[in-house]
Structure 1
Amino acid sequence: MRKLLISLFFVSLTNSLQAQSVSVFSPDKNIKLEVSVTDGNVYYSLFYQKDLFLQQSPLGLLSSAGDFSKELKLVNHTSAKIQESYQLNRSKVSQVNYKANELKCLFTNASNDTIHIIFRVTNTDVAFSYLIPKSKKNTANCTVEKETTGFKLPIGTTTFITPQAPPSSGWQKTKPSYEEEYTREEPVGTKSQYGLGYTFPALFHLGDKGWLLISETGVSDTYVGTRLSDASSDGIYTVTFPQDGENNNQGPVTATATLPMQTSWKTITLGRTLKPIVESTASTDVVKPLVKTSKIFDAGRASWSWIVWQDESCNYNDQKTFIDLAADMKCEFILIDALWDTTIGKEKMTELVNYAKSKNVGVLLWYNSNGNWNTAPQTPKDRMNTAEARREEMQWLQQIGVKGLKIDFFGGDKQATMKLYHDILTDAAEFGLNINFHGTTLPRGWERMYPNFMTSEAVLASENLVFQQAFSDRYPSTATIYPFTRNAVSSMDFGPVFLNKRLNRNPDKGTIRKTTDAFEMATAVVFFSAVQHWGLTPENLKEKPTYLFDYLKNVPIVWDETRFIDGYPGKYCVIARRKNTKWYIAAINGENSTKKITVDLWMLKGKNVSIISDGDGQESKFSTQKFGNETKFNLELSANGGTVLFIP
């Protein structure tokens, strides 16, 4: 009998080691995260109101401090309530009250090495990160070789995600530049365009259950930027590290940092509707400011000759014209794009900066990022890729009064590239320069981490309206995807608001714009960027009604509050944003047919409201309305049209 009891005891003990689980709920109890260990493998599952949103998905990583991808045992776990209030001054919201329930799990592997996995669960988001502590065996640096983190979506899920491009491909070997087309409700498991997986953020539609957005945040110089693999045969997307060929084969694809070493945070935003995705602050909730400075970096609007007038406009006289346009439009900035160093020169640039100062306009200058990781010929180049050259250049820029930089052509997510981003931002903060990255990866929490980070492209942006008629034709639909994907997680420099019928300096040439004027006005609100580069040209002010420009002179760039009103990716989008006490509600129609939508604009109750809506053809019309207690409003959008309602 004693032998039988001993045998039963060991069976029970073994089973407890083979299958361990622990759970954490969101503060409102709607989200449940369950962590389990089965046969030494760690998994997590995610539920929303008892519906399964993520099936059992793997966790773990392989590192020089130990193999944490298998033979793991849950040794301990602790829980805590996290509550923090913080402010943002260059974002879609200004005040965040962050409340989360934290679960910290301690695991050991077969060699008794230790890793922590930290989970944070709010009412709308789940975030998790790995922490490798110091130990007697490991006291110095640690290299993470790969993650086994995965995401298993339910059968029937469809996707809105962009494929990863091959390294050193595309124009002048500048890819990956994170400027690919979004899928449009492709079934989960569909092979990506290049067979290299997908970039963050990734939006998934779980049918009647709801929506889920996966992204990454908290990457500076101590980790790589990751992406998603193609889905496995059982439907699991796995976190993947950079490719060897990125950064022209320079630098490892692994991540190395001093112990204790914490990885990036993977974030998951979920709900029945797209509301939590549009309104989420997950990308800034789990990061901290990295750079302290007393300098103030202002957001603002910018005139920009290159987008329509192209390279030929980068000359002294045309830039004076666009400085005047910026002054007329009350823009804070002018962006002077590539080739200025040869077509204008440093001496004449000093004159232009002084002329802009006399008009109360700040100058932003374009730079090529590269050393030799692409063959893009645009100059100035070789000024941002090394500390010595960069700091010398930034000192000159500070001396003549330049306000900020647009830096282009990065092409990769290796730690070496992420360190370059970090070093540029850190040095630029010292010299009082704001930063905009192009040809670039997704910014990962940088709005809070760096005081001078303004915006990044990391999307197929407005230059493609000029380059490709096919993109211009698709643009209305594409524009309704961005607010729920790329722009949901960070400032996005798309470069909106065009009023030229053809996107060329010659009105008889160039691609044909397919959107209405009201659609273009709406993108000033629908698209959020801390520096917003308008696609306006001087002739627009003579050709179009003054009410359009009165609106653009006053529309805010950064916001105190953002609210989802209605929408569906690829079809339409209605978003409300508030600055101080004034609300702006913008709607765009992504389809080539008229659309009628009834929305509840509760924030306009009792207010006098100005409305820019579709008129005849591409033209707009202006009206005013007094909202009473009834706040239901019937939006009537033309094909590829839009509407803006705002409190003047």
Structure 2
Amino acid sequence: MAVSIRTAVAGLCAGLVTALLTGGPVRAEQHEQTWDLSTGAHAPRARVALDDTTGTLSFAVSRDGRTVIEPSPVGIVTQQADLSKDLRFLHSKDRMVDERYRTRSGKRLDRRVRMKETRLSFATATGARLDLVVRASADGVAYRYALPGASGDVLRETSAFNLPADAPAWLGTYRVDNEGQFVRHTAATAPTGEYSDQALFETDGGYTLLAESDLTGAYSGARLAHDQGTGTYRIKLADDRISTDGPLVTPWRAMITGDLATVTRSTFTDDLAPASRIRDASWIEPGTVLWTWLAGGKEAGQSLAAQKAYVDYAAERNWPYEAVDAGWYYKPGEWETVDPDWQTDSWMPELVRYARAKGVGIVVWIHQRELDTPEERDRWLPTLERWGVRGVKIDFMNSEAQPMLRWYDTVLAETAAHHLMVDFHGSTIPKGIQRTWPHVMTLEGVAGEEKRTNTAAHLTTLPFTRNVIGSMDFTPGAFHRVGLRPNSDAAEVGLAVAYESGLQMFAGTPESYDQRPLARAYFDQVPAAWDDTRLLAGRPGEEAVLARRGGDRWFIGGVYAGAARTAEVPLSIGAGRWLVETIEDGPDGLVLRRQVLSGGDRLAVDVVAGGGFASIACRWRPGITTCHR
């Protein structure tokens, strides 16, 4: 009899474990059904619960038995149905997502995707259907809504994230250009308002970065609405009403979670996104760029002679691109007035030919309003391709509403068709766009180098927030803006590695680089696409030290907020002996220090207030005296 009881109990426990791992339903309490999804013992675990009394759904996340996201409401309301309550469970379907893909830029070029997916189907008493699709991987969990039948326009989501009230939070106030600074609060004490959906929280289950993926013109961009005194952050959509026609699949509500190193290295939002829509991507080439806006302003944008001089400098340094910003197609001496004869009178074709002969590609700025209609795009894009322009920097979208997202869908396809790489400014943030459209090399969506009010704390938060989800056009290297930036020269060099961007636009003047030959030589070496990325040390708002591998060399960038100190950074880049060349701030300018260290040793760096450093590490053997090539 005792053996039978033990056998029955063992069988019950085995069934429970199987249900937990496969996403099957579990009767947790008398009044609810639950479904758990996870890829392993130490991976984040998503739990969906259906309250049998109210028919409402909730979504919670834990890691190693500790809270990441507390049970949070899930649901969507359409013109024809309220799919946030009175739901009953129909059935579920499980599958594995196992993919490999390669990107043209980013923190890691070769990607492996392994996720478990559960599709939970529900219905209301009137027969309205809601499918909740949940995915879990080693570095995140996500869900999205699928409405199998026509349900009318979407009116709102009831989706929200409930965080422990005392959870440290790094939040950027929402702006249409996504250029809010990140400031530390706690989940409950953050002021009432709207915040960017790229919000970072720390709980006893680790760090969690909220994000979005696979956002298209079929839907609307999300932001977080918060009332002070609670740990709840509600999804608020950019549109009061989202136009739909037939079945609908919403973007992913993503939670990148783990320790800080896992979050920083994650490619989860790209992994969730659809595969590349560009069959032949060989023309897409990341690289460093001499950007002339902060270097020369409006006058440089209207001067062929000035642009040729910048091309000469880029060629001398072997920088692959030069970017011509606003002014080049405006009437001479005027601003905001397009020259009606720009296609025939422009000096741009001459500049492109001049640059091509020197091995330099040209990227041009263009206002979104010049690409707003099919007729305008038919004038501009084929002409730029015919001239040989390599990329376009499109500016001032300043919206994540459905009409603008539909414009993105169109312009992405058309720029790809004309072999034009893209840098979006005044824009949305990546949200998986770079996997689906790999010719998107970078996006602004950040309070970058142009801003005059940035803080060192903001600079040290970006690697853990905005830059986690995709390339970020911060435009480092503006050494000449002394007093307008909060960091030291060595920290400015370090930003070229701490911040990832497929087109890494250097914002300084040639004179400022020549006055800092160590920085100039470092920029000559630094890649714009990476084979691997690792966080060596960091704490949002305090310090960020990232190592990125290009071939057989590691480039290390460190930025710090606060007082001067001696920083000790674990050299976690592999076993063996390494020659490490480090650029630091010295009493009279930048200095270079060389040393041989073993993998796992600590790299000690004297950091000034608001300072940082930049290093190159290469394998050492007798006779190796420098990592520069």
What band does the TM-score fall into relative to the shorter chain? 0.7 to 0.9
In the alignment, structure 2 segments of 5+ residues that lack a partner are 1-26, 333-341, 619-626
Q: Does 1:323 align with 2:299?
A: no
Q: Deviations over 1:209-238 (max 9, x none)?
A: 431110101012211111111147653211
User: How many angstroms apart in 2 are the aligned matches of 1:630 and 1:227?
Assistant: 41
| Structure 1 equivalent of residue 9 of structure 2 | none
Pair 209,521 (structure 1): closer, same or farther in 2 beyond 3 Å: same
Aligned residues: 577
Classify 1:24/1:254 alpha carbon distance in 2 versus 1 (closer, same or farther; 3 Å). Answer: same
Query: In structure 1, how many angstroms separate the alpha carbons of the residues matched to 2:228 and 2:487?
Result: 39
User: Could you say which residue in structure 1 is the equivalent of 2:610?
Assistant: 640
- How far apart, CA to CA, are the structure 2 residues paired with 1:85 and 1:442? 24
1:325-474 residue pairs with structure 2 within 5 A?
325-342=313-330, 346-370=345-369, 383-464=370-451, 468=452, 470-471=453-454, 474=455
Offset at 1:73?
Answer: 1.2
Aligned-residue offset at 1:204 = 1.0
How far did 1:200 drift? 2.0
Aligned residue for 1:104?
119
Query: Partners in 2 of 1:516 and 1:451 — Cα distance?
Result: 33
Whole-angstrom distance in 1 between the partners of 2:154 and 2:291: 42
Which of 483, 503, 506 does residue 531 from structure 1 map onto? 503
Pair 1:607 & 2:607 matched: no
Aligned equivalents of 1:90, 1:434: Cα separation in 2: 12
Distance 2:450 2:573 in 1: 37
Give a deviation string over 1:67-115, Cα, whole Å, max 9, x none. 2111111222232332211111211111111111222111111212111
Q: Does the 8 Å CA contact 1:595/1:639 hold for their aligned counterparts?
A: no
Q: Secondary structure at the match of 2:430?
A: coil
Structure 1 residues 628 and 482, CA, compared in 2 at 3 Å: closer, same or farther?
closer
Match of 1:24 among 4, 18, 37: 37
Aligned sequence identity (%): 26
1:360-387 deviation digits (Å, cap 9, x = unpaired) = 11111111113xxxxxxxxxxxx20011
> What is aligned with 2:183?
183
Instruction: Give the distance between the partners of 1:582 and 1:257, measured in 2 at CA.
Output: 50
- Shift, 1:597, TM fit: 2.5
Q: CA RMSD in A?
A: 2.1
Q: Distance in 2 between matches of 1:60 and 1:513?
A: 44
Q: Distance in 2 between matches of 1:600 and 1:411?
A: 41
For 1:4, the equivalent position in structure 2 comes to none
Q: What corresponds to 1:240 in structure 2?
A: 236
Residue 70 of structure 1 pairs with residue 69 of structure 2: no
1:621 counterpart letter in structure 2: V
Residue 483 of structure 1: which of 448, 459, 463 is its match?
Answer: 463
Q: Return the match for 2:277 from 277, 280, 291.
A: 291
Shift of 1:560: 1.2
Q: 1:326 to 1:184 in 2, by over 3 A?
A: same
Structure 2 residue matching 1:539: 3-state secondary structure: helix
Measured against aligned partners, the alpha-carbon deviations of 1:434-473 in whole angstroms (never above 9, x if no partner) come to 1111111112111111131111100111111xxx3x43xx
Q: Match of 1:147, as an amino acid?
A: E
Of 112-121 and 590-599, the range deviating more from structure 2: 590-599
Q: 1:595: how far off?
A: 4.1
Q: Does 1:37 align with 2:45?
A: no
| Aligned counterpart in structure 1 of residue 109 of structure 2, from 72, 89, 94 | 94
Judge which range, 182-191 or 260-269, deviates more: 182-191
1:262 corresponds to? 249
The amino acid across from 2:408 in the alignment is Y
Q: Deviations over 1:95-146 (max 9, x none)?
A: 1111112221111112121111111111220011111113xxx3xx842221
Deviation at 1:515, TM superposition (A): 2.6
Among 574, 577, 597, the residue aligned to 1:627: 597
- Native 8 Å contact 1:201 1:215 kept in 2: yes
TM-score by length of 2: 0.87
Residues 369, 410 of structure 1: 8 Å contact kept: yes
Kindly provide the amino acid, as one letter, of the partner of residue 563 in structure 1: R
2:140 alignment counterpart:
125
Q: Trace 1:539-554 onto structure 2 (pairs within 5 A).
A: 539-545=511-517, 547-554=518-525
Aligned to 1:214: 210
Deviation sequence 1:320-366 (CA, Å, 0-9, x none): 12111211221111111112112665431111111111111111111
List gaps (5 residues or longer) in structure 1.
1-13, 166-175, 244-252, 371-382, 503-510
- 1:428 shift after superposition: 0.5
Q: Deviations 1:147-186 (Å, cap 9, x if unpaired)?
A: 1111000121122111224xxxxxxxxxx21111222234
Q: Which residue in 2 is equivalent to 1:204?
A: 201
Q: For the residues of structure 1 that align with 2:35 and 2:352, how far apart are their CA atoms?
A: 60
Instruction: Report what 2:98 is aligned to.
Output: 83
Q: CA deviation at 1:626?
A: 2.0
TM-fit CA distance, 1:18:
4.5
SS in 1 for 2:457: helix
1:508 alignment partner in structure 2? none
